[in-house]
Chain A
Amino acid sequence: MASVIALSSPVRSRSTAATTESPAVRRLLIAVAVLFMAAFLVLPLAAVFYEALRKGLDVYLESFANADARAAIRLTLISAAIAVPLNLVFGIAAAWAIAKFEFTGKSFLITLIDLPFSVSPVIAGLVYVLMFGLHGWFGPWLQAHDIRIIFAVPGIVLATIFVTFPFVARELIPLMQEQGKEEEEAAVLLGAGGWQVLWRVTLPNVKWGLLYGVILCNARAMGEFGAVSVVSGHIRGLTNTIPLQVEILYNEYSFAASFALASLLSLLALVTVAAKSLLEWKIRRDQQIAIRESVA
C-alpha cells in the first residue's frame, strides 16, 4: 500500500534499438493504454462536468444555492477540519517513534496502522454503530446522558478519522526512515530540545511528503462515502456530507444538482492528483540539487 500512495522519484530509463520494440508494437501498446485510460478514467471524469453543466451554468450555480447543499458542504468542511489535523498529529508522532527509534514489534505496529486500508468502509461504519449505536456497547449510557454519536455529527467525524487514519503516517514513515537520524542527533548534541529538533530539522526535511500526505488525507476525508453513509442516518441539512447529498440527489433523479456537487469533489481530486505530480517533481529537483552540491 505504501508504494501506491507514497511519492516517488523515478529515474528515467533509456533505450536503444536492440532493447526497444518495433514502432508498430510500440504504437499498438500506447494505443491500448490510452484507450483503456480513456474508457475507464478520462470519459467518466469528463462526464461529471458534462452532466453538471448540461442544463446550463445557471442551473449549475443554482445547485449550490440550495440550503441542503450548503449544509452538506459545511458538514464536509467541518469533519475534514477535525479529522485531518488529528491524523496529521498522529502521523507525525507515529513516524517519529517508528523512524527514529528501534523497538521490537515495529513491523507489527506498521501493519496495525495500515489496518484501516484493508477494512471495508462499510465495516468501518459498522464498528462505530456497534459501539455507540442504540443497541451498541455504550448505547444505553449515551442515551441516558442524551449524547448522540451515531446519526449525528460526531459519528461522521469518527468514521472519517478511521478511514483517513493511515494517510499521513504512511507518507511520513518511509520518508523519515530514509532520512536517518544523524541530523537530529547532531541537533541534540548542539543543545536543541525535542520540539526544536522536530520543528527545525525533521519536519523541514520531509515537508513535501508531509504536504502530500495532508492533501491526500483531506481529499479522502471530504470524499468518504461508505463509512459515513452507515453512521449518518441521512438527515437532510443535518447529517449529510457532500458525497451523501450526491447520492440522495442522484436517487431522486436530480442529476444536474447531483453532478454539480460531484463536480466540486472531482475538482478536489484533480487538485490532489496535480499536487502529487508537482510535489514529486519538487522532490526530484531537490534531490538533484543535493547530488550536485555533494559532488561540488
Chain B
Amino acid sequence: MKTLLLTRHSVLPGFGLAMGFTVVYLSLIVLIPLAGLFLKTASLSWPEIWDTVASPRALASYRLTFGASLIGASLNVVFGVIVAWVLVRYSFPGKRILDALVDLPFALPTAVAGITLASVYSENGWIGRYLAEIGIKVAYTPLGVVVALAFIGLPFVVRTVQPVLEDFEPELEEAAACLGASRLQTFLQVMLPAMVPAVVTGFALAFARAIGEYGSVIFIAGNIPMVSEITPLLIITKLEQYDYAGATALGATMLVVSFLLLLVINALQRWAWLRSTQR
C-alpha cells in the first residue's frame, strides 16, 4: 500500500493499518453497494431503462423534484444571507439561541420535520390557517414540497456565508464609505462579490440535499402521482410493487445527478477557497 500510494517518509507509525481499514470499510459500506446499483442497471436492457426513466410519471416527478429544489434553494439564498448577515453583524436579544437553532434542520430527524411542518402548514395549522384565508394552500400541494425543502436547506447557506462575513475586513467597507459609497453601493459592489462563491456553494449544497430528500417531504406533499410525487418516493413505490428494474433505473439516474452535483460542489469550493486566499 505504501509504495503504491507514494507516501513520503514519515516517522509516524500506523499508516498501513489506518489506510487499510479506511479503504476496506469504505469499500464494503459505500463503494461496493453503490457499484452494485450500476451493475444491476447494466444488466437491464435499454428499452427497459428508457420506459421507466422517461415515463410521464417519472418526468412529472423530476419536474417537481428539481423545480421545488430550485425554488427551495433560492429561498434559502435570500433568507439565508439575511439570517447570516443579521447573526454576524447585529446584536439583539435571543441572537445566540437563533444562531444555535440554524442547525436544527440538520439535527432534527426528517420524519419529525415532515409531520410537524404538515401540521403547522395544514389548513387548520398555526400558519396554514392564515394562509388559507388568503387562498393559499400549502400542505398536500407542490407548495408544501417547497416549504419542506426550504426548511431542510437553510443551514447550508447560512453556515457557508457566515464565516465569509465574519472574516470580511472592515477596512474595505471603511474605504468604500470614505470614497463616498452609500451603504447599499458598498454592499452590492464590495461585499456581495466577496460573498458570491460562498452563496453559490451554499445554494449548490442545499439544492443537492433537496433533490434526494424524502422524509420531510412525503408528509406534507400529498403524494399524488403526476402532481405532488417526488422522485425518491417514486423509487419506493416501484420497490413496493416489486418493480426492481424500475427502481434500479430511477435510482441510477438520480445517483448520476448526485455525482454530477458533487463534482460541481467540489469545483465551487475550490473556487471559493482560491478567492478567499487571493485577497
Contact = CB atoms under 8 A, between A and B. Distances in A.
A binds B: yes
Interface of A: 1, 3-5, 8, 10-16, 18-22, 25-26, 29-30, 32-34, 36-37, 39-45, 47-48, 51, 86, 89-90, 93-94, 96-97, 100-105, 109, 111-116, 118-123, 126-131, 133, 135-137, 158, 161-162, 165, 181, 184-185, 188-189, 193-194, 197-198, 216, 219-220, 222-226, 229-230, 242-244, 246-247, 250, 255, 258-259, 262, 265-266, 268-270, 272-274, 276-277
A40 B126 CA distance: 12
Interface residues of B, number: 108
Given A21-B183, A43-B126, A259 B101 contact: no
Contacts of A130: 33, 36-37, 40, 244, 248
B86 A44 contact: no
A13 B33 contact: no
Interface stretch (B46-54, B55-63, B151-159): B151-159
Given A133-B244, A223-B110, A265-B109, 5 more contacts: A4-B156, A33-B87, A265-B112, A269-B107, A273-B103
B206 to A, nearest CB: 10
B98 A34 contact: yes
Nearest to B173: A19
A161 B262 CA distance: 21
A246 B74 CA distance: 30
B85 interface: yes
Contacts of A123: 37, 212, 232, 235, 251, 254-255, 258
Nearest to B37: A127
Q: Name which of B8, B40, B214 has the most chain A CB atoms within 10 A of its CB.
A: B214
B124 interface: no
A247 to B, nearest CB: 6
A263 to B, nearest CB: 8
Given A43-B127, A97-B18, A4 B159 contact: yes
Contacts of A11: 166-167
A6 to B, nearest CB: 9
A47 B113 CA distance: 10
A34 B219 CA distance: 26
A197 B12 contact: yes
Contacts of B34: 115, 119, 127
Nearest to A127: B33
A194 B112 contact: no
A120 B86 CA distance: 32
Interface of B: 5-8, 10-15, 17-19, 21-22, 25-26, 29-34, 36-37, 40, 79, 82-83, 85-90, 92, 94, 96, 98-113, 115-117, 119-120, 125-127, 147, 150-151, 154-156, 159-160, 162-163, 165-168, 170, 173-174, 177-178, 183, 186, 205, 208, 211-215, 219, 232-233, 235-236, 239, 244, 247-248, 251, 254-255, 258-259, 261-262, 265-266
Contact of A32 (B7, B29, B82, B166): B82
Given A1-B205, A120-B254, A40 B150 contact: yes
Specify the main secondary structure of chain B where it touches its partner.
helix
A33 to B, nearest CB: 4
B111 A100 contact: no
B109 A224 contact: yes
Nearest to B160: A3
Contact of B258 (A29, A40, A44, A118): A118
B21 A90 contact: yes
Contacts of B116: 44-45, 47-48, 51, 259, 262
B101 A222 contact: no
A19 to B, nearest CB: 4
A226 B89 contact: no
Given A14-B170, A30-B92, A44 B151 contact: yes
Contacts of A90: 21-22, 25-26
B224 to A, nearest CB: 16
A135 to B, nearest CB: 5
A255 to B, nearest CB: 8
A207 B98 CA distance: 26
Nearest to A25: B183
